[in-house]
Amino acid sequence: MTQAQPFPTTTSLAVRQALLDRSEIALIDVREEDPYAQQHPLWAANFPLSKLELEAWTRIPRRDTPIVVYGEHDGEDLAPRAASRLRELGYTDVSLLDGGLAAWIAAGGEVFRDVNVPSKSFGELVEAKRHTPSLAAAEVQALIDRKADVVIVDARRFDEYQTMSIPTATSVPGAELVLRIRELVPDPATQVIVNCAGRTRSIIGTQSLINAGIPNPVAALRNGTIGWTLAGQVLDHGAGRRPPGNVSVANHEKARDGARSVATRAGVRRIAFDALASLHAPGRTVYQFDVRTPEEYAAGHLPGFRSAPGGQLVQETDHNAPVRGARLVLADDDGVRADMSASWLAQMGWEVYVVDPVDDARRSERGVQAADIPAVPEVRTVSPSALSAWLSNGEATVIDVTASANYVKRHIPGAWFAIRAQLPQALKEIRSANRYVLTCGSSLLARFAAEDLRRLTSAEVFVLEGGTAAWVEAGLPVEQGESRLAVPRTDRYRRPYEGTDNAAAAMQAYLDWEFGLIAQLERDRTHFFEVV
């Protein structure tokens, strides 16, 4: 560590050593998601400066966590601004990555493309080590065409499945597979095929069934819906098939025994709910996740646990647990989903615990746990009806700081899209005004953005009460499309495997990238992945 005012710096070598020592560290990239996805270190987590207050306390719960910050945008180093805000939020061990990402690369540090890279690279390693069976799209299509004894299960979230799916496929999100597969496929001779959009969740889902001792022949759909599309085959849209809701006692016992066996082999630890306090030692971050479905979580969950359905938790570890070296604690109510999810996280190098069974009465909290955020700034507000009058008279300019995808879907007529962290650049594109009104979906982010805007202009600054949602509820008109982009839409990386209008070249390039991840892991060597 070398001192520099007002923040210390941490070298790339020191960050790498912390990872190798398995010390707790949060390496955070404060650029927007698209530039982050272009290149970043394996364990860097994306914390856009634009949303820092809304995410920091939830994602980095311990205020003395060692945090190393980097991120440059259009020649501006965003890290000092982010570090200052983190200090205001109470974090006491914040430093800047010495020389930023450029220095990391110059020092020989490996950089990765895309998002959720730790999980995706781990999936590739699992396939290579375990020789996870797979079938090509044409082979699966042939099975469907001849009405073979085959069941296709989609391991993604239900909303992703509804967007596009393999014909005849049933939605069984990752953590649900081992628990529910025997109800969906009672005949052990039936061929089971697991798919996702690309590769990772189909590999992990397939190997989960194999690891848990499912008697059926199981294979991944090679390259998922991307492979299906590249083969010229037709996807379904709007499907709604789900597995049976109830699991028989016999099938539950088999699933539980299989999940416990693989969790034990992976080194998962067990802990009583009443002993959880012992894990919260000084200097240790503990993430507590309920891996059941969001609906089950809302109906009742253990105090202090956040909802993170198991399949997505394994897929998005960098988002859910950005502090590398932290402890993870998982809970369910069936003895299957937590064990299966934990088995993968343990193989990814995490210290993982599963909560021993508890009485249902202990799940005393209801609803969705609110994000842990600081006090919302006091701002001047305007009602939707008053703003409508202002706009009719040309007395206000609206700036929308919502996600660009939401802006494109609907926005107030005449509103400009801007990324909060890029308000100085946005103001150069937006016509000068005597009065600005900020909005977003709910007005929450807009309230934080209003503080920033007040420092940049002498004009009046207001926030729309209730945000764009309140405008819509008031029956006021909206526009669609990219009508007024004050800055480029860099807030979200366009995934080549989502949606239905991706170019074939982009999809093939994504697959080629995934195939190269194992070689990148070999060069990086900070992962501690161990496939059982």
Q: What is the pLDDT of residues 6-61, one digit of tens each?
A: 899 999 999 999 999 999 999 999 999 999 999 999 999 999 999 999 999 999 99
- Contacts of residue 142, Cβ cutoff 8 Å, sequence gap at least 6: none
Could you say which residues of the chain have pLDDT below 50? 1-5
Residue ranges of the chain assigned to CATH 3.40.250.10: 9-115, 121-241, 256-362, 381-473
Instruction: Pull the structure tokens for residue 196.
Output: 């996702």
Pairing status of strand 76-77 against strand 72-73: antiparallel
pLDDT of residue 510: 85
Domain 121-241 in CATH 3.40.250.10? The answer is yes
pLDDT of residue 431: 85
User: CA separation (Å) from 374 to 39, 40, 61, 94, 462?
Assistant: 30, 28, 13, 18, 20
- Rounded to the nearest 10°, the torsion over CA 271, 276, 278, 284 is 110
- Contacts of residue 203, Cβ cutoff 8 Å, sequence gap at least 6: 123, 124, 126, 127, 132, 134, 220
pLDDT of residue 370: 86
pLDDT of residue 3: 38
Backbone angles phi, psi at 63, to 5 degrees: -70, -15
Question: What stretches of 255-406 adopt beta strand conformation (E)?
Answer: 269-271, 286-290, 306-307, 327-331, 351-355, 381-382, 397-400
pLDDT of residue 500: 67
Does the model's pTM come out above 0.75? yes
Structure confidence by residue, pLDDT tens digits, 441-456: 999 999 999 999 999 9
pLDDT of residue 434: 96
* Helix 337-347, helix 200-211: angle, nearest 10: 110
Rounded distance, CA 166 to CA 45, Å? 32
Domain 256-362 in CATH 3.40.250.10? The answer is yes
Rounded distance, CA 431 to CA 488, Å? 17
**Identity of the residue numbered 322:** P
pLDDT of residue 4: 39
Rounded distance, CA 348 to CA 269, Å? 14
pLDDT of residue 144: 98
CB 173 within 8 A of CB 313: no
CATH assignment of 9-115, among 3.40.50.300, 3.20.20.70, 3.40.250.10, 1.20.120.850: 3.40.250.10
- Contacts of residue 78, Cβ cutoff 8 Å, sequence gap at least 6: 30, 31, 49, 71, 72, 421
Strands, sheet with 9-10, edge to edge from the N-terminal-most edge strand: 9-10, 94-97, 67-70, 26-29, 45-46
CB 97 within 8 A of CB 15: yes
User: CA separation (Å) from 121 to 102, 133, 211, 392, 520?
Assistant: 23, 18, 19, 53, 9
Domain 381-473 in CATH 3.40.250.10? The answer is yes
